[in-house]
Structure 1
Amino acid sequence: MKINEGSLDRTLRVIAGLILLALGLLHVIGGVWVWVAVIFGAILLVTGLIGFCPLYTLLKINTARK
């Protein structure tokens, strides 16, 4: 597993993930959107924290400095 996210990418993912998790867990949104927000928020948070995105690997995207 090689880091494929740059620092800006990682920062934005962590912020977006925390916002989505908060929206879902605090029930600011309702219905099925709660689960959508929690799942995508968790994915963004984890990928932002570890610096690796499997989808980037499949699409051959690398925002990390070389």
Structure 2
Amino acid sequence: MEKNAGTVDRIVRVVIGIGLLYAVATGMVLGIVMYVAGILGIMMMVTAALAYCPLYPAMKMNTASKPK
């Protein structure tokens, strides 16, 4: 699994992930939206930690800096 998420990409994912998980934890979202937001928040945090997004290869994207 080659890293395909760059630093800025990872920071944005962490911020969005924390926001989604905060919304779930504080009850700002309810019902099915709560579950979707929780799953998306966890996915954002995991992809940021691994520096790998499984959708990027399908879209031929790579925000990670390439070694010189």
User: Please, what TM-score do these two structures have when normalized by structure 2?
Assistant: 0.91
Moved over 4 A (4+): none
For the pair shown, the structure with the greater C-alpha radius of gyration is 2
Helix, strand or coil at the partner of 1:30: coil
Unaligned runs of 5+ in 1: none
How many matched pairs?
66
* Alignment partners' CA distance in 2, 1:14 and 1:49: 9
Which structure dedicates a bigger proportion of its chain to helix? 1
Q: How does 1:1-66 map to 2 (within 5 A)?
A: 1-66=1-66
| Two-structure CA RMSD over aligned residues (Å) | 0.8
* Overall identity of the aligned pairs, in %: 39
User: Please, what TM-score do these two structures have when normalized by structure 1?
Assistant: 0.93
